[in-house]
Amino acid sequence: MTRPSDHVDTYFAPAGRADASVLMGQIGTCMSSPMTQVVLESLGGHVVVLNQQRQILAASVSLLDALRARRPGEVLGRRWGEVMECVHSKEGPDGCGTSRACSCCGAALGILEAQKEHAPVETECRMAMKRDGAWQACEFQVRASPLELVCGELLVVVFQDISDKKRRELLESAFVHDLANSVMALTGWSKVLSEEVDDAKVARRIVDISSHLSDVVQTQRTLLLAETGSLKVHDCEIEVAKFLASLADSLRAHPASNGRIVEIDKAGRKSGVVKTDPALLFRVVQNMGVNALEAVAPGEAVRLGFEAKNGHPVFSVHNPGVIPDDVSWQIFHRSFSTKSKAGRGIGTHAMKILGENYLGGKVGFRSTTDSGTVFFIELPV
């Protein structure tokens, strides 16, 4: 028997949970089964046993330790995304698995396929979490396998945390990608310089490329420190108009700006003072700007903006494009990108981790057909 939550249809996986008495019987059977105990103790990673409603009936010690759970009861009866505090777990009508975003979740897809095919399924899962007030990103290798007990067919799911591996691959890929492009450009312009065509023009280009290369190195260093919790914040007062003017200049010099227009709205050109870490804020809004430039066609404009919203300073970047739903649900996940180039998928994650975990702000976006797309960071008062 299942009990629908508030009688609202799901947006993806089936809604409904086992009745309390049925759930307790399943948990009892699972916990007393020697087979279950062997599975929990012998498999590496975070191991859970799920019923047909995707509720946890048993969990490995490693998962309880990772969650700092004092007793198994804090985990049992809940779903994977709920115990991990996935940012989408409260968006659906019946919790984990039932939101629109869950249709893009590797864990949800793998679990449903294993239940349907009655066979083991392997997949990968990207997860964005808000734990202890901080934005976190994790990647898991997921294996879901059927398990037959007297209470029916269950599912053993093993989550291997591959976050460190993915983080390293992503940072290395991004760095090597940008480094190769910059070195290629430097080599080309150096050859032009050797021909003594227009020394001043070539020198400016070499300076721009060198500055971009230096910025790439510093960006990777900043994100690595942020990921490991070692980044220091240095607040000071900044003038909004000067900050946005400097940001606009950096975006116009970026390779992604070729043929695109970068402008500052009227409010952003007015004087105003904000207290924050200027270097970190610059990286957050710069990432927004680069993403916007890559999303528009030549001749279209990207607009930098500023406003005070209920006393909160808000910096924003607007472009006329629209983000599809299936992309918007994954936009801040680490390593997610709509582009196939190497080293992509790091910018939006950097916005979140720097803007929220270190600047204490709120990073988000709005995207509609009528108004286009606006990424923003709302800072504390």
314 forms beta bridges with 307, 378
Q: Could you tell me whether strands 301-309 and 261-264 are parallel, antiparallel, or unpaired per DSSP bridges?
A: parallel
Q: How far is CA 315 from CA 175, 338, 370, in A?
A: 27, 24, 21
> 2-161 — its CATH code?
3.30.450.20
Q: What is the pLDDT of residue 133?
A: 84
- What is the predicted pLDDT for the residue at 167? 74
Where are the extended beta strands (E) located within the chain?
A: 2-3, 17-18, 46-50, 56-59, 121-131, 134-149, 152-161, 236-239, 261-264, 273-276, 301-309, 312-319, 362-368, 372-378
Q: Is 189 helix (H, G, I), strand (E, B) or coil?
A: helix
Residue extents of the structural domains in the chain = 2-161, 168-231, 233-381
Q: CB 191: neighbour CB atoms within 10 A?
A: 10
Q: What is the pLDDT of residue 344?
A: 45
Own/partner pairs, 181-187, CB within 8 angstroms, 24+ separation: 181/255, 182/209, 182/212, 182/213, 182/216, 183/213, 185/209, 186/210, 186/213
Could you tell me whether strands 261-264 and 152-161 are parallel, antiparallel, or unpaired per DSSP bridges? Answer: unpaired
The count of C-alpha atoms lying within 13 angstroms of the C-alpha of 169, restricted to the half-sphere facing its C-beta, is 10
Nearest one of 33, 75, 35, 224 to 159, comparing CA atoms: 75
What per-residue confidence (pLDDT) applies to 196?
Answer: 58
pLDDT at residue 214, rounded to an integer? 72
pLDDT attached to residue 23: 96
Cβ atoms 42, 156 nearer than 8 A: no
State which residues of the chain have pLDDT below 70. 1-8, 170-206, 209, 212, 335-345
**Residue matched to tokens 């490991």:** 228
> 233-381 architecture in CATH?
2-Layer Sandwich (3.30)
Do 2-161 and 233-381 fold alike per CATH? no
